[in-house]
């Protein structure tokens, strides 16, 4: 029987892996058994479309490509009848005998590897549009961190494993016959991801598409962002010109609407700044005892400066100033983190949330990350909270203080916040003193560097974190008028940094710890501590809010004493 050339070529190229990818291994094995059990050979007839074969009670039309073959049985997928007929036709190509499936588990060594022309011809630009900006950016992070898809090429099949999606894709020639473990008949997002990773591996993706889309997501428009910032500045200027005493209570609603405009314009940092300003206005009109003019002016100035900076910035800088929404977590690959400190947050800090913020040092990236365990503080009665356990650790996060954590499958947002996703797993290491983890260059001893790099207006908290070792600590009397605990730190050049904590019921443990430190320094001024905290400017002073402090014994182990000869 003379087969059409295109069909003969397709039958010759179809090895066992290809046929299994068209259906599944169970269907393939059943087809082999059915073919071996045939009492009489099938009846075949060549047609313009291919070869029509009568196999028992069913009729199959086999044509190229093989995935386009048809069967009279009700199955919509590639059934065992079609596989049996394909195996029989392959046997006809190899010799006069039939009824036995050829052994095609491995192609002859002299055969060239398939080139997959349809996989190469698929436009990468179209793939990126199908993936979307967020998934595209996440895939690029996985690829660059070495945590991308697992790609295996076996004969005429490219198998791509996507562990984060629990999906397995088999890319076939032609592309429309590729299969996915999600059983989608269409070109699903898993197939698009698999093809994108394969094209990355083959070097087919242009350099322009190997850069992540804007962090603000699809639909972001820099001109729209500038227009929103201009409107915010004009509204704030009008409020300032009116004066606080003449502002109506409706200014709270006006500021809330400005925050909503920033949300629409994909400006999350400015949105949060305006919401904090709105809370200050609300406290003023409620005649709240916690309201302070200086706090309102600080919130007002932060929102104004940020809007002005975004409006005047070039497009690439706008993306950095805009920030990211808190729910935009992206894969970061494996990370080795060290839990350096933690801070209690109360609902009285104008955020409306309370809980604990954990601060981690990335030993490989040499930067800080945070995890925020915060909940709304709007309940009438305080609720007892259970200890926080994350990432499959055998202990609570508080108990992992000063321990090294090896995270697998970590996800972070644009502000350095870690996700508590259950897909992340942490291996808990031993407790280590921080001085043995942080490199010497991470320890700031020159306060001028703090002023230049960590205290600029509008910087997010992550960029204002610093580990400081002073040359001298000078205790200060407690300020009973402003309810301030202060300690003056000096570097070797005499530049000062003020450790400052404002008294509050929740800050009492912090002040007690600092008072014990102060008493110890009065007895032994040479035992200089190391401070970890947040740097900020207050008028003409550089200040530090302490998150943790470490004495000489708590920072680094003392070197062993030399034995006398």
Question: Is 36 a member of any domain?
Answer: yes
> Do 549 and 525 sit in the same domain of this protein?
yes
- d(CA 264, CA 270) in angstroms, rounded, equals 11
| Of 403, 432, 461, the domain-final residue | 432
For the chain, percent helix, then strand, then coil, each to nearest 5?
Answer: 40, 25, 35
Dig out the tokens for 156 from the structure.
């005429």
Q: Choose among 358, 332, 330: nearest CA to 344.
A: 358
CB < 8 Å & 24+ apart, contacts of 244-249: 244/284, 244/293, 244/296, 247/281, 249/285
pLDDT, tens digit, 9 for 90 and up, residues 144-178: 766 678 898 877 788 899 887 888 888 888 787 78
- Whether 504 and 540 map to the same domain: the answer is yes
Residues 352 and 372 in one domain: yes
Same domain membership, residue 235 and residue 316: yes
pLDDT at 77: 75
Looking at residue 385, its pLDDT comes to 65
Write out pLDDT tens, residues 175-219.
877 888 887 777 888 989 999 999 988 888 888 787 755 444 445
Cα distance between residue 507 and residue 515, in whole Å: 12
Q: Could you say which of 405, 432, 459 is where a domain stops? A: 432
Q: Are residues 359 and 425 in the same domain?
A: yes
Q: Give the integer Cα–Cα distance in Å for 403 and 389.
A: 15
Torsion of CA 346, 351, 356, 358, to 10 degrees: -140
Give residue for tokens 């697992």. Answer: 150
pLDDT tens per residue across span 285-303: 998 877 889 989 999 999 9
Quick check: 237 pLDDT over 50? Answer: yes
Instruction: Assess if residue 403 is contained within a domain.
Output: yes
Q: Is residue 510 part of a domain?
A: yes
Residue 291 pLDDT: 85
| Alpha carbons 565 and 562: distance in angstroms, whole number | 9
Say whether 429 sits in a helix, a strand or coil: strand
Identify the band that residue 324 occupies on the pLDDT scale cut at 50, 70 and 90: low
490: CATH: 2.40.50.140
Residue 237 domain flag: yes
pLDDT tens for 91-138 read 777 654 434 444 444 444 445 566 788 888 888 888 888 888 777 877
Q: State residue 457's pLDDT score.
A: 67
Is residue 121 a part of any domain in this protein? yes
Same domain, 449 and 539: yes
CA distances (Å), origin 552, targets 57, 247, 363: 87, 53, 21
Quote the pLDDT of residue 213.
Answer: 52
Question: Do 70 and 123 reside in the same domain of the chain?
Answer: no
For 207, counting Cβ atoms within 10 Å of its Cβ (0-12 exposed, 13-18 middle, 19+ buried), the class is exposed
Residue 355's CATH number: 2.40.50
Q: What is the pLDDT of residues 526-561, one digit of tens each?
A: 888 999 999 988 878 889 999 998 887 777 655 444
Shortest CA distance to 140 belongs to which of 153, 128, 150, 158?
128
* Domain-located, residue 110: no
* Predicted local distance difference test score (pLDDT) of residue 97: 42
Residues 339 and 409 in one domain: yes
Total number of domains constituting the chain: 5
pLDDT in tens, 60-84: 888 887 777 888 887 767 788 888 8
Q: Is residue 151 part of a domain?
A: yes
Tens digits of residue pLDDT in 496-529: 999 988 887 778 888 888 888 888 888 888 888 9
Is residue 99 assigned to a domain? Answer: no
105, 118 Cβ separation under 8 angstroms: no
pLDDT cut 70: percent of the chain above it: 87
The verdict on 444 and 550 lying in the same domain is yes
The mean per-residue pLDDT over the stretch 24-50 comes to 78
- Average pLDDT, integer, range 32-42: 77
Contact criterion met (CB below 8 Å) for 46 and 2: yes
Q: Are residues 424 and 345 in the same domain?
A: yes
Q: 311 pLDDT exceeds 50? A: yes
Q: Is the peptide bond before 65 cis (omega within 30 degrees of 0)?
A: yes
Higher pLDDT: 435 or 504? It is: 435
Same domain, residue pair 519 and 467: yes
Instruction: Tally Cβ neighbours within 10 Å of residue 417.
Output: 19
373 & 463 share domain? no
pLDDT at 274: 93
Query: What residues make up the domain containing 407?
Result: 330-432
Domain boundary among 432, 448, 469: 432
Query: Mean pLDDT, to the nearest integer, of 327-356?
Result: 76
Across 11-20, 57-66, 457-466, 488-497, least confident range: 11-20
């Amino acid at each position: 029987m003379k087969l059409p050339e295109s069909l003969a070529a397709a039958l010759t190229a179809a090895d066992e892996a290809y046929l299994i990818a068209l259906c599944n291994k169970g269907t393939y094995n059943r087809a082999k058994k059915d073919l071996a059990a045939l009492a009489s050979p099938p009846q075949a007839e060549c047609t313009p479309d291919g070869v029509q074969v009568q196999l028992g009670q069913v009729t199959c039309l086999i044509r190229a490509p093989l995935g386009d073959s048809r069967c009279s049985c009700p199955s919509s997928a590639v059934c065992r009848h079609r596989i049996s007929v394909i195996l029989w036709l392959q046997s006809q190509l190899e010799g006069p005998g039939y009824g036995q499936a050829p052994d095609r588990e491995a192609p002859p060594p002299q055969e060239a590897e398939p080139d997959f022309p349809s996989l190469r011809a698929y436009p990468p630009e179209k793939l990126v549009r199908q993936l979307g900006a967020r998934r595209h950016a996440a895939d690029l992070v996985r690829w660059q961190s070495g945590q991308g898809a697992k790609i295996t090429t076996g004969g005429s099949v490219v198998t791509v494993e996507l562990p984060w999606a629990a999906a397995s894709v088999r890319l076939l020639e032609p592309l429309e016959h590729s299969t996915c473990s999600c059983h989608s008949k269409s070109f699903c997002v898993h197939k698009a991801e698999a093809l994108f990773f394969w094209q990355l591996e083959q070097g087919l993706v242009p350099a322009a598409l190997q850069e992540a889309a804007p962090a603000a997501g699809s639909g972001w428009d820099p001109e729209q962002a500038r227009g929103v910032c201009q409107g915010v500045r004009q509204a704030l200027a009008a409020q300032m010109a009116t004066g606080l005493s003449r502002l109506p209570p409706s200014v709270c609603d006006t500021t809330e609407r400005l925050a909503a405009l920033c949300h629409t314009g994909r400006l999350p940092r400015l949105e949060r700044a305006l919401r904090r300003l709105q809370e200050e206005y609300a406290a003023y009109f409620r005649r709240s005892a916690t309201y302070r003019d200086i706090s309102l002016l600080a919130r007002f100035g932060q929102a104004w400066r940020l809007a002005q900076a975004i409006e005047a910035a070039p497009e690439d800088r706008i993306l950095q100033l805009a920030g990211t929404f808190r729910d935009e977590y992206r894969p970061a690959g494996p990370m080795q983190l060290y839990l350096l400190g933690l801070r209690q947050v109360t609902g009285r800090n104008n955020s409306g949330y309370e809980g604990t913020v954990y601060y981690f040092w990335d030993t490989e990236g040499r930067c800080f990350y945070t995890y925020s365990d915060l909940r709304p503080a709007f309940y009438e009665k305080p609720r007892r909270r259970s200890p926080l356990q994350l990432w499959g650790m055998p202990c609570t996060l508080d108990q992992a203080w000063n321990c090294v954590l090896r995270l697998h499958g970590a996800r972070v947002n644009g502000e350095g916040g870690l996700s508590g996703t259950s897909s992340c797993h942490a291996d808990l290491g031993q407790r280590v003193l921080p001085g043995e983890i942080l490199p010497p260059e991470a320890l700031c001893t020159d306060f001028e560097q703090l002023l230049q790099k960590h205290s600029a207006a509008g910087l997010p908290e992550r960029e204002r974190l610093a580990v400081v070792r002073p040359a001298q600590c000078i205790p200060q009397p407690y300020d009973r008028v402003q309810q301030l605990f202060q300690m003056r730190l000096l570097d070797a050049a005499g530049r000062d940094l003020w450790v400052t904590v404002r008294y509050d019921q929740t800050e009492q443990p912090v002040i007690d710890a600092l008072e014990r430190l102060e008493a110890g320094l009065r007895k032994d001024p040479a035992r200089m501590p190391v401070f970890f905290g947040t740097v900020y400017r207050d008028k003409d002073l550089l200040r530090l809010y302490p998150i943790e402090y470490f004495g000489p014994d708590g920072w680094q182990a003392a070197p062993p004493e030399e034995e006398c000869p």
